[in-house]
């Protein structure tokens, strides 16, 4: 049983989807959670649900790309418990397009939300974690940072940058008791991708790859990511830092061919 009692967590993009799943899980494990999002009403509704379940929740509705957002979120957390122990940079956006389809504004906005905002939030929060000698930073990336998927230009680049930032935080603050890890989700059913998934032909090559051609079939759920976050946030994970954990049903790290009449696996047998 992971025990996060006495810990305060900040979760960005917590109004819905994976972020809401993470906030709920950390609160269930005993943490006080500061849920932040740019969407005011869904954030308030989600927080009200969790409070009804007896959880300790504070909300701050803010656009992470505004100057000073990091400090405002830190102040909100400090007002409930004087500190932040766990930072989960989950908020993210994805705009599709190839090089020539991307405008400067779309590129800059993607980098601002997916990479600059986590940097600024970590800069506001991590030094105080280090001063207290305990902290957990968990950044949510994507399998697309590790494998090329067509039309993911700025998203993939921003998430790869986030993974590098995570390793740097791990290197710089590990000696002070702060760990930093990245979780790279595979396809998880959330508002971000529900429309995309529903509009696809289930037999299209892309859907066969992301949904079916992997050891664990189907899509993931926000809870799958939340479970990994809760573990990395725990005391038990003290010796795990600088890691990239795929929670993707085994997609990225296997070349998987489903069983079928002509899909016998290769067997390398000794000649003699």
Ligand X SMILES: NC(=O)c1ccc[n+]([C@@H]2O[C@H](COP(=O)([O-])OP(=O)(O)OC[C@H]3O[C@@H](n4cnc5c(N)ncnc54)[C@H](O)[C@@H]3O)[C@@H](O)[C@H]2O)c1
The footprint of ligand X (CB under 6 A) covers 13, 15-19, 37-39, 63-65, 90-94, 113, 140, 142, 185, 187-188, 190-193
Instruction: Give min distance, CB of 203 to ligand X, in A.
Output: 20
Q: Which residues are CB-contacts of 233 (< 8 A; sequence separation ≥ 6)?
A: 2, 4, 7, 9, 26, 29, 31, 86, 88, 136, 138
Instruction: Give min distance, CB of 100 to ligand X, in A.
Output: 23
Task: Note the helical H segments in the chain.
Answer: 17-28, 40-52, 69-81, 104-111, 117-132, 153-173, 191-199, 205-207, 222-232
Decide whether 130 or 224 has the Cβ nearer to ligand X: 224
Decide whether 195 or 201 has the Cβ nearer to ligand X: 195
Contact 6, 29 (CB under 8 A): no
H and E: helices and strands count for the chain: 9, 7
Give the C-alpha separation, 231 to 256, whole Å.
28
SS3 45: helix
Tell me the catalytic residues: 155
Decide whether 62 or 170 has the Cβ nearer to ligand X: 62
Decide whether 39 or 80 has the Cβ nearer to ligand X: 39
Instruction: Give min distance, CB of 91 to ligand X, in A.
Output: 4
Instruction: Give min distance, CB of 125 to ligand X, in A.
Output: 16
């Amino acid at each position: 049983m992971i025990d996060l009692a006495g810990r305060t967590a900040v979760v960005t993009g917590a109004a819905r989807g994976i972020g809401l799943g993470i906030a709920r899980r950390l609160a269930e494990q005993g943490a006080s959670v500061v849920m932040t999002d740019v969407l005011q009403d869904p954030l308030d509704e989600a927080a009200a649900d969790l409070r009804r379940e007896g959880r300790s929740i504070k909300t701050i509705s803010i656009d992470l790309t505004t100057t000073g957002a990091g400090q405002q979120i830190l102040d909100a957390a400090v007002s409930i418990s004087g500190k932040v122990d766990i930072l989960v940079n989950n908020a993210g956006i994805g705009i599709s397009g190839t090089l020539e389809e991307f405008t400067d504004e779309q590129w800059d906005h993607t980098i601002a939300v997916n990479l600059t905002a986590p940097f600024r939030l970590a800069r506001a929060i991590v030094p105080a974690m280090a001063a207290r000698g305990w902290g957990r930073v968990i950044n949510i990336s994507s399998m697309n940072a590790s494998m090329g998927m067509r039309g993911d230009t700025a998203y993939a680049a921003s998430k790869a940058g986030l993974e590098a930032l995570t390793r740097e935080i791990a290197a710089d603050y590990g000696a002070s008791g702060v760990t930093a890890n990245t979780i790279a989700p595979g396809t998880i059913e959330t508002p971000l991708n529900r429309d995309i998934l529903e509009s696809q032909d289930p037999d299209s090559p892309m859907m066969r790859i992301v949904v079916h051609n992997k050891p664990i079939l189907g899509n993931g759920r926000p809870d799958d990511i939340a479970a990994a976050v809760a573990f990395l946030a725990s005391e038990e994970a003290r010796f795990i830092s600088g890691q990239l954990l795929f929670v993707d049903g085994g997609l990225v790290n296997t070349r998987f061919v489903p069983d079928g009449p002509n899909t016998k696996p290769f067997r390398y047998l000794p000649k003699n």
